[in-house]
Amino acid sequence: MIIGILFVIIEIFDPAFFFISLGVGAIVTGLVAMLPIVERSIPLQILIFAICSFIAFLFMRKLGKKVLAHPAGETNVFALKGKSGHITQAIEKDGRGYVKVGGEEWVAISQDGQSIDKDAKVEIIEIDGNKLIVKQS
């Protein structure tokens, strides 16, 4: 059972869903080994460990696929793509202005190079460094 607990602790530092299977197998084997029939039979304990570890591995693999299948969304400035904002300083033709999105002000340029008036509603199309590329909605 101690080896099983060690495998579970190793899994905390190496989240590959492998050591947890061995840990579950070792803990179950330790519990079953307390039964009088299994207590003295080492080959039977090894068989129980192998079967329990294999079954736990199949379940953990399925769980791991579910957890890892959902890709994380965009983060930082890239999470602004597709959001709406409003122009706080007009964007001149082929120039820069400022857009407010979610309470923060960002440097913005127009997608097509055309001017956009102050207070116009815009949509963020792309991110270029620290500039938002916008189009008027």
The model's pTM is: 0.50
Average pLDDT score, the chain: 89
Task: Decide if 45 contacts 29 (C-beta within 8 A).
Answer: yes
Question: What was the pLDDT predicted at 75?
Answer: 64
Query: Minimum mean pLDDT among 47-61, 73-87, 117-131: which range?
Result: 73-87
**Please, which residues bridge with residue 99 across strands?**
87, 106
Q: Regarding predicted confidence, which is higher, 130 or 23?
A: 23
Q: Give pLDDT, residue 101.
A: 93
Contact present, 18 and 41 (Cβ < 8 Å): no
In the structure, what pLDDT confidence band is assigned to residue 17 with cuts at 50, 70 and 90?
confident
Percentage of residues in the chain with pLDDT exceeding 70?
Answer: 95
Angle at 50 between CA 23 and CA 68, to 5 degrees: 55
Percent of the chain at pLDDT above 90?
A: 59
**pLDDT score at 65:** 76
The CA–CA distances, whole Å, from 26 to 33, 51, 126, 136 equal 10, 11, 52, 62
Structure-model confidence comparison of residues 92 and 76, the more confident one: 92
CATH of 76-136, one of 3.40.640.10, 2.40.50.140, 2.60.40.3880, 3.40.50.720: 2.40.50.140
Q: Tell me, what's the pLDDT at 16?
A: 76
Angle at 27 between CA 33 and CA 3, to 5 degrees: 105
Q: Beta-strand (E) ranges in 13-120? A: 84-89, 96-101, 104-110
Counted residue by residue, the chain has a size of 137
